[in-house]
Structure 1
Amino acid sequence: MAQSLLNRYLSPDALNHLANRPIQPLELVIGNLAGAHKSPLSGFAVEFAGHREYSPGDDPKHVDWRVFYTRDKYFVKQYELETNFICHLVLDVSASMRYGEGYEQKLNFASRLAVTLGHAVVGQSDKVSLTTFDDKVRGYVSPSNAMSQIVRMAHHLDEISPVEKTAMGDCLHEFATRTGRREIVMIFSDFFTDLDELESVIQRMRYQRHEVVLFQILHHDELAFELEGMVKFVGLESDDDLLAQSEDLKASYLTAMRKFSTELEEVASRNRCEFVQVDTSRSMGEMLADYLNRRSRLNRGR
């Protein structure tokens, strides 16, 4: 049963593209286990960070005797403590995410993307959580680094019925009250919401020193508008329908869509967040490989 469930959310191709590509924090993290990522806390372990003057009670074995011989003062070696991190996956399951068919449906793609990234995080012994929302927070799978966490996430996603509108600002504010500080928050949505409200909650998360990644999940139709002839447009989060000649709408639609995505990217840039636009017609494995390669380049540049 569990394996059948996982097969719906994990593809061998995507996992192969993730092999040997660790998800490393771009900023310092705070965790509660010894792990593989630098922490802003100072300790006596792992990587040398600097010196401080000796204080009574310090362990003499950490005294740097070479410094003592040159400066005639006692200094203690300090090291950067390495730690695990918590990655929070936050998934918009509102009705607009139902657009598309099969694997290219936005919600389907975003769900599989979240589970795949969660699998990678747990595979490196870090913790992952899952939160789903539409007009309110619908579910929460608390952080764990056990591989059984991926089954719990998949089971929760399998029960989701997206029928409501989005109240992203309120839901993300509620989510932020549950988190600590200096964690990773990955949000998966089309972000068809009020961008001022979104920026407000992102600023709160950044104040909490979270690393925030915005995955804008879009169907290829929404990006390219390659529709022909008379088309009936059905509102997914409203009762409004529109019957129109697609060629009459294409130019103005694409202008509006580019403007919206640019504004969303600017929100991310102003708040030092990652912005990743995802076309659901693309191979998830290739998309993840490109994304993690970019993160690796950013890490090397810091």
Structure 2
Amino acid sequence: MASSVLSRYLNPDVLSRVADRAIEPRGLVLGNLAGAHKSPLSGFAVEFAGHREYVPGDDPKHVDWRLYFTRDKYFIKQYEQETNFTAHLLIDVSASMRYGDGSQQKMLYAAQLATTLGYSIIRQNDKVSLATFDETLRGFVPPSNSLAQLHRMTNHLDEIEPVETTNIAPALSEFAGRLGRREIVFVFSDFLGDPEDLEAPLQRLRYSRHDVVLFHVMHHHEWEFEFEGMVKFLGLEVEDEFTTQTEDIRRGYLEAVKEHTRKLDEVCQRNRVECVPVDTSRPLAEVLIDYLNHRSRQNRGR
């Protein structure tokens, strides 16, 4: 049962393309285990970097005595401060995320994207947590860097039934209150709602210096509105339906989507939050590789 659930969210072909790509935090991170990221702390979680000659005042405990006996000179062992980070994966499980069929369903695509990202983070010995939300937080899998975490995450995702309406801001604010130190927060949602409502929770996360990334997950139909003729539209979060000639509303709909996306981008830019548009018709590996390449370029430019 566990293996079948895991295979629903993790594709071996996708993993083979992204597993070796490092996910680096932006700036210094705080952690409590040895990892691969520079830390502002000292005195623990360090990796050997090289030697330098001893000078008066150096702590004798850092003298490399083996080198002394071979070179007859005192050398100090130098270390690079390192630590781990924790990444939090927040997935919108509201009813609107049910839209789409098969692998292009928004909920499934977002879950696969998040789980694949989580696998890559765990492989580099960093921790991952999972939270699901709609109007409020629905579930939480505490952070871990064990591969068993992937089973816990996918089992939780498989038990979720998207039925409630979307209300991201309160859920994001509630989650922000649980975070203490600087960490990475990835949010996967269609962000159907007023983008201005995200201002306060994003400000709170950024004030605490968390690295925040929003994955704006939408079905290709929602991005492009490629419907033809007379179509009946059914509400997923409201009990409503209407039938219309698609040509009559296409232009207005696309303008509304463009305006909504513009407002979301503006909120993100004001708060120095990255927003990644995702079309579920695109191969998942391409979306993730494009994002990781972009993130790597940004980190090198800092």
What is the TM-score normalised by the length of structure 1? 0.89
Is the alpha carbon distance of 1:204 and 1:80 closer, same or farther for their aligned partners in structure 2, counting shifts above 3 Å? farther
Matched to 1:248, the amino acid is D
Distance in 1 (CA, whole Å) between partners of 2:142 and 2:196 is 29
User: Where does residue 296 of structure 1 map in the other structure?
Assistant: 296
Distance in 1 (CA, whole Å) between partners of 2:215 and 2:167 is 17
User: Where does residue 86 of structure 1 map in the other structure?
Assistant: 86
User: Where does residue 258 of structure 2 map in the other structure?
Assistant: 258
User: Where does residue 196 of structure 2 map in the other structure?
Assistant: 196
User: Where does residue 286 of structure 1 map in the other structure?
Assistant: 286
Secondary structure of 1:41's counterpart equals coil
Distance in 2 (CA, whole Å) between partners of 1:12 and 1:214 is 25
Could you tell me whether the CA contact under 8 Å between 1:36 and 1:84 is conserved in 2?
Answer: yes
User: Where does residue 53 of structure 1 map in the other structure?
Assistant: none
* 1:255 shift after superposition: 0.7
Is the alpha carbon distance of 1:173 and 1:283 closer, same or farther for their aligned partners in structure 2, counting shifts above 3 Å? same
User: Where does residue 69 of structure 1 map in the other structure?
Assistant: none
- What 5-or-longer segments of structure 1 have no aligned partner? 49-55, 64-75
User: Where does residue 71 of structure 1 map in the other structure?
Assistant: none
Q: Deviations over 1:34-76 (max 9, x none)?
A: 110112224474488xxxxxxx9x835679xxxxxxxxxxxx9
Q: Does 1:29 align with 2:41?
A: no
- What 5-or-longer segments of structure 2 have no aligned partner? 50-56, 64-75
User: Where does residue 153 of structure 1 map in the other structure?
Assistant: 153
Alignment of 1:8-157 (within 5 A): 8-43=8-43, 45-46=46-47, 59-60=59-60, 81-157=81-157
Could you tell me whether the CA contact under 8 Å between 2:48 and 2:77 is conserved in 1?
Answer: no
* 1:232 shift after superposition: 0.9
Matched to 2:227, the amino acid is L
Distance in 1 (CA, whole Å) between partners of 2:88 and 2:211 is 10
* 1:135 shift after superposition: 1.3
Distance in 2 (CA, whole Å) between partners of 1:94 and 1:46 is 44
Matched to 1:34, the amino acid is A
Could you tell me whether the CA contact under 8 Å between 2:9 and 2:112 is conserved in 1?
Answer: yes
Could you tell me whether the CA contact under 8 Å between 2:166 and 2:193 is conserved in 1?
Answer: yes
* 1:169 shift after superposition: 1.1
Distance in 2 (CA, whole Å) between partners of 1:203 and 1:284 is 30
* 1:78 shift after superposition: 9.0
Distance in 2 (CA, whole Å) between partners of 1:32 and 1:201 is 26
Q: Deviations over 1:242-284 (max 9, x none)?
A: 2110011111111110111111111111111111000000000
Matched to 1:301, the amino acid is G
Distance in 2 (CA, whole Å) between partners of 1:34 and 1:27 is 17
Secondary structure of 1:191's counterpart equals coil
Moved more, 193-202 or 151-160: 193-202
* 1:20 shift after superposition: 2.1
User: Where does residue 275 of structure 2 map in the other structure?
Assistant: 275
Moved more, 236-245 or 208-217: 236-245
Could you tell me whether the CA contact under 8 Å between 1:36 and 1:83 is conserved in 2?
Answer: yes
Q: Percent identity?
A: 59
* 1:79 shift after superposition: 6.4
Secondary structure of 1:29's counterpart equals coil
Secondary structure of 2:16's counterpart equals helix
Matched to 2:32, the amino acid is N
Q: Deviations over 1:176-233 (max 9, x none)?
A: 1111221000000001122222111000001111000000000000011000001111
Is the alpha carbon distance of 1:209 and 1:77 closer, same or farther for their aligned partners in structure 2, counting shifts above 3 Å? farther
Could you tell me whether the CA contact under 8 Å between 1:27 and 1:211 is conserved in 2?
Answer: no
Could you tell me whether the CA contact under 8 Å between 1:14 and 1:288 is conserved in 2?
Answer: no
Is the alpha carbon distance of 1:79 and 1:199 closer, same or farther for their aligned partners in structure 2, counting shifts above 3 Å? farther
- Aligned pair count reads 283
Matched to 1:113, the amino acid is L
Distance in 2 (CA, whole Å) between partners of 1:271 and 1:62 is 43
Q: Deviations over 1:118-171 (max 9, x none)?
A: 111111110000000111211000000000000000000000011001121111
Distance in 1 (CA, whole Å) between partners of 2:98 and 2:285 is 22
User: Where does residue 169 of structure 1 map in the other structure?
Assistant: 169
Alpha-carbon RMSD across the aligned residues, in angstroms, is 2.1
Secondary structure of 1:40's counterpart equals coil
